[in-house]
Amino acid sequence: MKNYVILISGRGSNMQALLDARLPGTCSAVISNRPDAAGLAWAAARGVPTAVVDHKAFASREEFDTALTAEIERRGADLVLLAGFMRVLGEAFVRRFEGRLVNIHPSLLPAFPGLHTHEAALQTGVRVHGCTVHFVTPALDCGPIIVQAVVPVLADDTADLLGARVLAQEHLVYRQAAQGILEGRCRLEAGRVIWTSDTTTGAAVLRVPAGA
């Protein structure tokens, strides 16, 4: 059985969804760059080991990345899942975990990378919005796409309303992606995502919820 770690910076709602999903692997740690991250207490209360690598304790990003790398490797992680981890990771870190470092982003990449994605979607007038699970590369929010989910943008939407619908889909597709990787049905090969199962063969999977 494979080990995975989850990296968080806050309450970790995607972390909670991943742990509640009882993935086919062992969560060897929930790790945060913030000692006050609410998700640490949630995980610890459920018997999941936790750790803190406080970015404020290091003089440079490189030193922080080195310490984080050591903590992840000490946990024997086969897969690293970023779940609201609000630190930009350096190229050396990303290269070290290439093919086993995964992130979820609240937009249909490549649209709206970075922050404030729901506001950007409303401002530009797109008809659909969503979320993306992707392998992490040194370029921010640009890695190969594993799975996406689409939600409609409604006429009376606010950023909060739209964000809530997107978040509900995040919890579903992140579980789908992590399970596929841990079971060996999804992998990164020559820069492309390959899915192999009874129902899917090929590249990234798209989820469209009922009523979308």
The residues assigned a catalytic role are: 105
Q: Residue 64, Cα to own-chain centre: how many angstroms?
A: 20
* E strands in the chain: 3-8, 26-32, 50-52, 79-82, 101-105, 128-135, 145-152, 186-189, 192-196, 201-202, 205-207
Amino acid at 115: L
Residue 73 is encoded by which pair of tokens?
Answer: 């490797």
143 burial via Cβ count (<10 Å: 0-12, 13-18, 19+): buried
Q: What angle do CA 76, 81, 86 make, to 5 degrees?
A: 120
Q: Which residues pair with 80 in a beta bridge?
A: 5, 101
Q: At what angle do helices 117-124 and 159-182 cross, to 10 degrees?
A: 120
Q: Where are the alpha helices (DSSP H) in 27-158?
A: 38-45, 61-74, 91-96, 117-124
Q: Cβ–Cβ contacts within 10 Å for residue 83, how many?
A: 26
